[in-house]
Amino acid sequence: MSATLEKGVRVLKEVIDAPIASYFNSCVHCGLCAEACLFYTETGDPKYTPIHKLEPLRRVYEQEYTLLGRLKKLAGLSKPVTDAELGEWQELVYNSCTLCGRCSVVCPVGNDIVYMVRKLREGMSASGNAPDGIKGAVNRTVTIGSPMGVKLPAVKAQMKHVEEDYGIPIPLDAEGAEYMVMLSSMEIINFPEYLGAIAKIMQQAGKTWTLCSTAFEATNAGMQIGNSDLARVIVSRIVDGAEKLKVKTVISPECGHAYTALRWEGANLIGRPFTFQVKHIIEVLGEFQEQGLLKTEGFETDKLTFHDPCQLARRGGVIQPQRNLMKMVAKNFVEMPDPGFINWCCGGGGGASAIEEGEELRIEAFKKKKSQLDAVKPDRLVTACANCRIVLEEGLEHYQMDIPVVGLTEMIAEHIPEKGA
Amino acid sequence: MNEMQFLTWVRGTGLNIAVGIFLLGVIWRLIEIYSLGRKKDLSAPRNVPGASGWHTVFRRSMPPKDMGMVKKSPVSYIGGYVFHIGLAVVVFLFAPHIKFIESVVGLSWPGLPSQFVDLVAVITIAAMVVVLADRINKPVKRYLSTFEDWFTWTVTFLPVLTGWMAVQHLLLPYTTMLALHILSVEILLVVLPFTKLFHAFTVWGSRYYNGAVNGHKGVAV
What is the per-residue pLDDT across A252-266, written as a single tens digit (0 to 9) for each? 999 999 999 999 999
| CATH number of domain containing A47 | 1.10.1060
A140/A281 same-domain check: yes
Q: Is B21 on the interface with A (CB under 8 A)?
A: no
What is the average per-residue pLDDT within A96-120?
Answer: 98
The DSSP code sequence of B105-139 is HS-----B-HHHHHHHHHHHHHHHHHHHHHHHHSH
A223/A330 same-domain check: no
Mutate to test the interface with A, among B30, B210, B213, B214 (most CBs of A within 10 A): B210
CB–CB of A26 and B199 under 8 A?
A: yes
In angstroms, the CA B172 to CA B167 distance is: 11
Domain stop point among A129, A152, A177: A129
Helices (H) and strands (E) in chain B, counts: 12, 0
Residue type at position A107:
C
Which residues lie closer than 8 Å to B65 by C-beta, 6 or more apart? none
The answer to whether A408 touches A323, Cβ cutoff 8 Å, is no
pTM for the full model?
Answer: 0.96
Number of A to B CB contacts under 8 A, please give it.
Answer: 176
The answer to whether A213 touches A152, Cβ cutoff 8 Å, is yes
Residue A183 DSSP SS3:
strand
Residue B13 DSSP SS3:
helix
A403/A387 same-domain check: yes
- Complex ipTM > 0.90: yes
> Could you count the other beta carbons within 10 Å of the beta carbon of residue A116?
25
CB–CB of B219 and A21 under 8 A?
A: no
A232/A370 same-domain check: no
Nearest CB partner across the interface for B139, out of A22, A36, A46: A46
Which residue on chain A is closest to B220 by alpha carbon?
A317
A182/A79 same-domain check: no
A307/A350 same-domain check: yes
CB–CB of B44 and A277 under 8 A?
A: yes
The chain-wide mean pLDDT, for chain A, equals 95
CA angle A96–A102–A107, rounded 5-degree value: 110
The answer to whether A305 touches A336, Cβ cutoff 8 Å, is yes
A209/A88 same-domain check: no
A162/A281 same-domain check: yes
Q: Judged by CB atoms within 8 Å, which residues 65-94 of B form the interface with A?
A: 66-67, 69, 72-73, 76, 80
Q: Judged by CB atoms within 8 Å, which residues 118-177 of B form the interface with A?
A: 135, 138-146, 149
pLDDT value of residue B168: 95
pLDDT value of residue A420: 55
| Residue A420 domain-assigned (yes or no) | no
DSSP state at residue A301 = E
Domain stop point among A288, A317, A341: A288
Domain stop point among A107, A129, A151: A129
The DSSP code sequence of A36-92 is H-HHHHTT--GGG-GGGGGHHHHHHHHHHH-HHHHHHHHTT-S----HHHHHHHHII
A342/A228 same-domain check: no
Mutate to test the interface with A, among B27, B29, B32, B42 (most CBs of A within 10 A): B42
CB–CB of B206 and A111 under 8 A?
A: yes
> Could you count the other beta carbons within 10 Å of the beta carbon of residue A126?
24
Q: Is B64 on the interface with A (CB under 8 A)?
A: yes
Given a cut of 60, whether residue A67 has pLDDT beyond it is: yes
pLDDT value of residue A189: 81
The chain-wide mean pLDDT, for chain B, equals 97
Low-confidence ranges of chain B (pLDDT < 50): none
| CATH number of domain containing A163 | 1.20.1050
Name the region of A400 (left: φ>0; alpha: ψ -120 to 50; beta: rest).
left
Q: How far is CA A94 from CA A357, B79, B159, B187, in A?
A: 11, 34, 43, 41
> Could you count the other beta carbons within 10 Å of the beta carbon of residue A402?
7
State the nearest Cα–Cα gap between A178 and chain B, in angstroms.
18
> How far is it between the farthest Cα atoms of chain A?
81
pLDDT value of residue B210: 98
pLDDT value of residue A411: 97
| Residue range(s) defining the domain that contains residue A181 | 135-288
Q: Is B109 on the interface with A (CB under 8 A)?
A: no
A377/A243 same-domain check: no
What is the average per-residue pLDDT within A48-67?
Answer: 98
Nearest CB partner across the interface for A22, out of B44, B149, B202: B202
Which residue on chain A is closest to B135 by alpha carbon?
A30
In angstroms, the CA A195 to CA A292 distance is: 22
CB–CB of B46 and A115 under 8 A?
A: no
| Strand spans (E) along A133-220 | 179-181, 209-210
Tens of pLDDT, residues A189-236: 888 889 999 999 999 999 999 999 999 999 998 899 999 999 999 999
Tally the domains of chain A.
Answer: 3
Chain A residues within 8 A of B202 when measuring between CB atoms: 22, 25-26, 109
Which residue on chain B is closest to A261 by alpha carbon?
B43
Closest CA to A204 of A415, A360, A348: A415
In angstroms, the CA A116 to CA A342 distance is: 20
Q: Which of A100-114, A352-366, A407-421 is predicted with the least confidence, judged by mean pLDDT?
A: A407-421
CA angle A387–A391–A394, rounded 5-degree value: 145
A73/A43 same-domain check: yes
| Residue A419 domain-assigned (yes or no) | no
| Residue A37 domain-assigned (yes or no) | yes
Q: Is B203 on the interface with A (CB under 8 A)?
A: yes
> Could you count the other beta carbons within 10 Å of the beta carbon of residue B216?
19
A181/A211 same-domain check: yes
Q: Is B47 on the interface with A (CB under 8 A)?
A: no
pLDDT value of residue B47: 92
pLDDT value of residue A142: 86
| Residue A421 domain-assigned (yes or no) | no
